[in-house]
Every structure is written in structure tokens, then in C-alpha cells.
Amino acid sequence: MEDIIKIDNNGVLSVPDNPVIPYIAGDGTGPDIWNATRLVLTNAVKTAYQDRKKIAFKEILAGEKALEKTGQWLPKETLDQIRKYRVAIKGPLTTPIGSGMKSLNVAIRQELDLYACIRPAKYIQGVPSPCNQPENIDMVIFRENTEDIYLGIEWEAGTKEAEDILSFINQKIQKKFDKNTTGIGIKTISEKKTKRLIRKAVQFAIDNKRKNVTIMHKGNIMKYTEGAFLKWGYEVGKDEFKDVIITEQEVWDKFDGKAPEGKIILKDRIADNMFQQVLLRPSEYDVIATPNLNGDYISDTLAAMVGGLGLAPGANIGDSCAVFEATHGTAPKYAGLDKVNPGSLILSGAMMLDHLGWHKASDIIHTALQKSIANKKVTYDLARQIPGSIELKCSMFAKEICSLMA
């Protein structure tokens, strides 16, 4: 009998001891980092729970392997399997170029309505960082996944559609865009999708005893999209979490700048300012909630601040399922070389264990990975920056992590 993760009407998971978890190994370096991750996850669960719990990994296809075996980049069966089993993990996938197809990763997020892209950025001792006080970096980004310019509503310059829309705009605002040489991209942001994202971010802050949630936006310029995101975000705080949330304005107006015990501060920053804030005053930021494109930029910046893409985990979570994934791409020049850092997918796997409530196994992974870095036994990306380090292959790094588990 297959042990399937169930989810109740309140979104609470019920996880059996032997859950089936589908995986997509991925393209390029995907198989290398997936094999390493699978080894680490299996050993961590065994170390934490002996034989009482065990994940039954089940392969599902997407990307180049799916194309070869089924003639499709993203078979319907793959999406159905994720829907059925609720939790999945994936390596990076090639984005087909020139076929007019959108990214497979974006397609998976949109098809499954995985609306919150969650990316933690926490400094690991010993990892080279371009920042002065990297130990102060401990942020979690909640990036909206299903709206914004990422929806791909675009028309090329010179097409009938672009011409129609430009005629409408020219009429409405008396501007004279050149109808033959102007391309069009449409940005949408809605109340419902904004509110569910902010709700998830605030709930995360409550569950994880975080101190503040910052809405990152460009509402001063894009008033009815990013400005509305900001307005709806504050409404969630005020209407749904009034017992725990206090706005930054209230903290200054009523409490002289110091938040009362037990309250979480809800604040906002304009996107360009946010970049310098995370660099110069990282300790003041905790959970960041933002529309899709801002989230894309800020999460790679934060990843660079704590050691680069090789160590940046990520999860895409909706109300009915969740997919955990490496945040970097397929790094095709290293494919099959057993070289790249599997840390991003391993840490995403640890996030997955936390999502299942298997915190002990997750903690074991974090501790063992930190020890390996402290011992200067690392993959090429870190080895080239840590003097005196020993460079390990991808698979050896995984074995080293397993040997440090206790």
C-alpha cells in the first residue's frame, strides 16, 4: 500500500511514517546533485528515527529526460503525481529556448498554483561572504509566484495584438507610442493573490518566532499593482492578525520605536531602498514579502551575500501541494562531472523535512553541513574562496556530510 501525505481543510499535513515523495532529478548537473541529496536525506532520516520513518522516493519526469521518454517537456502525469502525493523535490530544469515555451519551473509553479516561493538566506559560519557582518544575515523571502510580469502576457512589436493595445493606450492617455516598433508586457497584481501570500508570510513569522515582516514594493511608481500589493498587505496585517501584528508607524507613534514584547512588526520598503537595507542593515530584516520580479532579484542578491547559489535553498508552496527545489539552474558546463555543490538541493531537502514536521532530521543535516564547511571540506565553488580547503567532488561532499551525522 502506498503511504500518501494527506492535507485537511485547514492546510494541516498528515504525514505517514513511510511517505511516497516524487522527485525530478533534473537536467545538466541535476542528476549529480539529486543523487547527493537523496543520500543525505536518507541518512539523516535514518539517523534521526532509525527505521521508524523512511521516505519512499519515486521518480517522475520533466525536462530533457521527459522529452526523450514521452515526447513532452512536462507531462501531465508528472503534475498529477505531485498533486496526488502533495510534496515533491526537484533538481534544476533546462528552459527550452526558441520554442516559445515558458520556463518549466515557472510552468510547474503556475500549473500547481504554488503561489509562495520561499527562499531562506542564512549565513553559515566559514562560508566566504562579500559582506562585513554576514553573521547578521538571517532572512526568509516570500516571493509571489503566480502574478506580476512573470505571467508572460507579452506581444512582440509589430504584431496585431501589440498594435491593438497601443491604439487603446494612445487613445486613453493621449500618448503616441509607435505602433510598429513598441513591444508590450502586462503586469497584473490582484487582491486575492496578494493577500494569500502576505497571510503565509505573516503566519510563517508567527510560527517561527520572527520579529518583523517587510513588504518590498515599487508602489511609488506602479501605484495600482505594487502600490495595491502594499495596501492589501497592510490590510491582512490589520484585519487578520491584529493580536500579533503592529505596524512600524504604530511602533514609532505609540511605543517610541520599540515594539512591545510578543508583537511582530509589519513594515514596508521601496524595492531600490530594500537592496541597500539588506546589505547595510541586515539585522533589521527578517521575513520579506514581495511580488514576483522583485523577489527574483532580491533572492539572488541574498544568496550571493551568504555564499552563492550553490548553498541557496528554495520551496514553492501552495494550499494543496509543495515542491522543494534548488534555486540555481542546470549549470550545463559542469554536467556529469560530479563537481558542483549539492548544498542548494540538500538544504531544500532539509526545508522539505521541516515541512513534513521531521525537524530532527532537518537539524541533523544543517549541523553536519556546517561541520563539513567548518572543516574546510567543500566543493569547488567554496574551495576556490577558502584558503587551505580540501576540494571534494559533489558525491564526496554528500558522503562527508553523512559521515558527520550524529
What are the residues binding ligand NAP (CB under 6 A)?
29, 33, 92-95, 105, 309-310, 325, 328-332, 340-341, 344, 381
Smallest gap from Cβ 288 to ligand NAP, in A, equals: 20
CA 327 to chain centre: 7
CB nearer to ligand NAP: pick between 33 and 66: 33
Contacts of the segment 257-261: beta carbons below 8 A, 24+ positions apart: 259/211
CB nearer to ligand NAP: pick between 63 and 291: 63
The whole-angstrom separation of Cα 187 and Cα 195 is: 17
The answer to whether residues 175 and 169 touch, using CB atoms and an 8 Å cutoff, is: yes
Q: Verify whether residue 218 is a known catalytic residue.
A: yes
Buried b (16+ CB within 10 A) or exposed e, 139-159: bbbbbbbbbbbbbeeebeeee
User: Looking at 32, 148, 296, 381, which residue is catalytic?
Assistant: 296
Smallest gap from Cβ 161 to ligand NAP, in A, equals: 26
Q: Verify whether residue 209 is a known catalytic residue.
A: no
* The three three-digit cell numbers of residue 144, written as one number: 509571489
User: Looking at 193, 218, 339, 377, which residue is catalytic?
Assistant: 218
Taking CA 21 as the corner, what is the angle to CA 8 and CA 50, rounded to the nearest 5 degrees?
A: 100
Residue nearest to ligand NAP (CB): 329
User: Looking at 150, 285, 338, 377, which residue is catalytic?
Assistant: 150
Smallest gap from Cβ 96 to ligand NAP, in A, equals: 8
* The three three-digit cell numbers of residue 342, written as one number: 549539492
Q: Verify whether residue 296 is a known catalytic residue.
A: yes
CB nearer to ligand NAP: pick between 212 and 341: 341
CB nearer to ligand NAP: pick between 184 and 331: 331
Smallest gap from Cβ 212 to ligand NAP, in A, equals: 28
Give the chain's end-to-end CA distance (angstroms, integer).
32
Tell which residue, 62, 126, 125, has the closest CA to residue 96. Answer: 62
CB nearer to ligand NAP: pick between 82 and 340: 340
Buried b (16+ CB within 10 A) or exposed e, 41-78: bbbbbbbbeeeebebebeebbbbbbbbeeeeebbbeeb
Smallest gap from Cβ 81 to ligand NAP, in A, equals: 18
- Residues with catalytic roles: 150, 218, 272, 296
